[in-house]
Amino acid sequence: MTIKAAVIGDPINHSLSPKLHGFLLQKYNVDGNYSAIHVLPENLAESIKSMVNSGFAGFNVTIPHKEKIFHLCDIKTQNALLTKAVNTVIITENKQILGENSDIAGFLNNLKYHQANFGLQNKTTHVIGAGGASRAIVCGLINSEVKNIFITNRNQQKALALIDDFKEFSTKKHVHLEFLNHENFEKSLENSDLLINATSLGMTGQPSLQLDLKNLNLQAIVYDIVYKPLMTNLLESAKNRGNKIVTGIGMLAFQAIVGFESWFGLNATVDDELLNYLTKL
């Protein structure tokens, strides 16, 4: 019987997930189907029920449902509990809704794929942004036992709320987590081992990210979660001054295979062929 999965969101037309999973289903010759379903916020609970009843193995969740669905899950993984967000749902054999946040694995595995020799433990990291993506990244960094995480964000209150939510976890892991204003953030880049843009700035159609890299440690890796364009202004500037870079498209691919493997029951590999395919979409 064909195994069914999907992505739900509002809007949903822009999602690359159906093509990504379609590529993997074909590559691994799986009898599966992955569709895009437009779900309005007011219909979320009802839509999930109908997906459970019609035999879906699970689904991805995108904007704007990632936080709301968290509260509708019967079981939550540690990652979901820490980020309070769910982007991957697995429907268990006894029809329970299991919520996972695979952005954390997506972020970490993409870093490993591009910079295999870089270990996060004890490193000093800088994160721009305090939205959902940033929460997953901060969670991954704390779990990897970095030494410092410095965060900056346009909306300071939002960053402070994020820091507050991760206070217990960061203390437990001996990670220093601190907000810096834009100016101090730029200054402190001289000590950075890893700089991450976790905002949508630099994406096609969005304003570009304004950040002076003149103080940035030349050994630091610069990681942008934006993947359209693949080479953002931030990554171009970093590359031109000699820093190593990590592009964002792999984060999408690595977060996707978490769901793919659970629903369709086989191991999948992220490779350059998949990343090149996604980059051209």
**Range in contact with ligand ATR (rule: CB under 6 A) among 49-57, 149-157, 164-172, 179-187:** 149-157
Neighbours of 53 (CB within 10 A): 9
**66 given a catalytic annotation:** yes
In the bound complex, what is the minimum distance in angstroms from residue 85's beta carbon to ligand ATR? 8
Q: Comparing C-alpha atoms, which of 133, 6, 10, 15 is closest to residue 63?
A: 10
Per CB under 6 A, the list member of 14, 49, 71, 154 interacting with ligand ATR is 154
**Secondary structure E strands in 153-264:** 176-179, 194-197, 221-224, 244-246
In the bound complex, what is the minimum distance in angstroms from residue 25's beta carbon to ligand ATR? 26
DSSP 210: -
Residue recorded with tokens 């429907």: 91
In the bound complex, what is the minimum distance in angstroms from residue 201's beta carbon to ligand ATR? 5
In the bound complex, what is the minimum distance in angstroms from residue 191's beta carbon to ligand ATR? 22
* Annotated catalytic residue, options 4, 27, 49, 66: 66
Work out whether 199 is an interface residue with ligand ATR (CB under 6 A).
yes
Work out whether 207 is an interface residue with ligand ATR (CB under 6 A).
yes
Work out whether 158 is an interface residue with ligand ATR (CB under 6 A).
yes
Work out whether 177 is an interface residue with ligand ATR (CB under 6 A).
no
In the bound complex, what is the minimum distance in angstroms from residue 64's beta carbon to ligand ATR? 9
Instruction: Find the binding residues for ligand ATR in span 107-146 (CB under 6 A).
Output: 129-134
Work out whether 19 is an interface residue with ligand ATR (CB under 6 A).
no
Per CB under 6 A, the list member of 17, 83, 153, 255 interacting with ligand ATR is 153
Per CB under 6 A, the list member of 35, 115, 191, 200 interacting with ligand ATR is 200
Strand order in the sheet with 244-246: 176-179, 148-152, 124-128, 194-197, 221-224, 244-246
Residue whose CB is less far from ligand ATR, 7 or 268: 7
Binding residues with ligand ATR: total (CB under 6 A): 14
Beta bridge partners of 6: 35, 59
Residue whose CB is less far from ligand ATR, 152 or 268: 152
Residue whose CB is less far from ligand ATR, 49 or 154: 154
Residue recorded with tokens 């939002």: 158
Contact (CB, 8 A) for 75 and 96: yes
Residue whose CB is less far from ligand ATR, 25 or 225: 225
**Secondary structure E strands in 62-108:** 75-76, 88-91, 97-100
Q: Comparing C-alpha atoms, which of 238, 172, 164, 234 is closest to residue 206?
A: 234
Dist CA 277 CA 96 (whole Å): 34
Residue whose CB is less far from ligand ATR, 32 or 250: 250
Q: Comparing C-alpha atoms, which of 210, 194, 212 is closest to residue 202?
A: 210
Contact (CB, 8 A) for 221 and 245: yes
- Kind and range of the H or E run holding 51: helix 44-53
In the bound complex, what is the minimum distance in angstroms from residue 34's beta carbon to ligand ATR? 22
What is the identity of the amino acid at 127?
A: V
Dist CA 37 CA 106 (whole Å): 23
Show which residues are catalytic.
66
Chain residues binding ligand ATR by CB under 6 A are 129-134, 153-155, 158, 199-201, 207
